[in-house]
Structure 1
Amino acid sequence: MSQNINPAILACDLHDHIEIICMRRYPVELHLLDGTVLTGIAADTRSSGGQEFLQLESQGQLQQIPLLQIERIHILDNQAPLQDIWLQQGGSCAL
């Protein structure tokens, strides 16, 4: 039996890492697929309309960044166990 893997869903371990950086409110640098770089505090994740978002606090504003538009999250805290999380790895997570 073949299993359909939705490429529009992140792997479960990536979700875990993203939840941890939000829980610890790490300062991050987001590298988007279009080349844009955003910095701020990883605040939370949200789902809306079948899409998942990282909420980024930056200059007193809360931005919702689609997770599937993020290529890499660079954590700007040297004490963090991981410094870079690459989101475009493939895989799936049944949410």
Structure 2
Amino acid sequence: MTRDIYLAAGNYRWEVVHQPDGAGTYIVASRDIYLKAATYHWRCYADPGANFTYTLGCILDQPGGSAGVASPPAGMWWGNQHFTCGGRLTQI
């Protein structure tokens, strides 16, 4: 998933979330970050690893550089094998 978003300057809590179908939402990575007012290109990803593991993460790109947050590799082998993942920013 990618999108361009405008963010006001401020401190944000940035979380990567994972939700197996039929289950609750889990925060698998988070960080607090100061972002200047700008339009950012937001990318989220699921990167497959060995033994049914995935690393979930998001990256914000802007002309001055990039920032990211990612989970450690985690197993995803339970349930019906359908998952939703993504990120969220909350101004704090």
What TM-score does the superposition give when structure 1 sets the normalisation length? 0.34
What TM-score does the superposition give when structure 2 sets the normalisation length? 0.35
Richer in strand (by share): 2
Larger radius of gyration: 2
Higher relative contact order (CA 8 A, sep 6+): 2
